[in-house]
């Protein structure tokens, strides 16, 4: 609650009465802050699960050398390729990837989006 009220205090000037009531705006700020905290608490931490030591290169080598997907994945830079492999082969969420790779969540989302776009161009 404290974080939410600090945000409300600092961004009070951004409140627009034409967009809704003050009560609704306050609830939205508190709700969004609570959701952000909840998401951050459930991020993957590599130290919690040392047994999950996924080798993305091993996954790549299991693909046939003549595979178009393998050829296209090899064109993508290493960390971005790892994000795609971990997300789509090993089923990791964006939050888990951010925790594992120690990069911001927005960076992971951007890498996934750009990598999928590159794969689409290469495969198409």
**Domain range enclosing 76:** 56-123
64 and 15 fall within a common domain:
no
Least confident of 9-23, 54-68, 91-105: 54-68
29 and 64 fall within a common domain:
no
Give the pLDDT confidence of 67-89 residue by residue, as tens digits. Answer: 888 899 999 998 899 899 888 88
Place of tokens 């974080």: 3
pTM, two decimal places: 0.55
83 and 115 fall within a common domain:
yes
The average pLDDT across 38-48 equals 53
66 and 101 fall within a common domain:
yes
Q: Is residue 49 part of a domain?
A: no
The rounded distance, in Å, linking the Cα atoms of 45 and 4 is 25
Nearest C-alpha neighbor of 88 from the set 104, 112, 65: 112
103 and 62 fall within a common domain:
yes
Nearest C-alpha neighbor of 80 from the set 99, 103, 62: 103
Alpha-carbon torsion (66, 68, 73, 76), positive or negative: positive
Q: Is residue 75 part of a domain?
A: yes
Q: Which residues contact 22 (CB under 8 A, 6 or more apart)?
A: 15
CATH number for 95: 1.10.10.10
């Amino acid at each position: 609650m404290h974080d939410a009220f600090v945000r409300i205090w600092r961004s009070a000037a951004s409140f627009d009465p034409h967009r809704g009531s003050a009560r609704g705006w306050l609830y939205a700020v508190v709700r969004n802050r609570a959701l952000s905290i909840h998401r951050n608490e459930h991020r993957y931490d590599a130290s919690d699960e040392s047994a999950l030591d996924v080798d993305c290169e091993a996954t790549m080598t299991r693909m046939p050398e003549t595979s178009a997907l393998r050829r296209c994945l090899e064109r993508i830079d290493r960390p971005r390729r790892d994000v795609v492999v971990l997300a789509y082969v090993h089923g990791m969420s964006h939050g888990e990837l951010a925790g594992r790779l120690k990069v911001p969540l927005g960076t992971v989302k951007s890498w996934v989006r750009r990598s999928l776009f590159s794969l689409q161009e290469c495969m198409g």
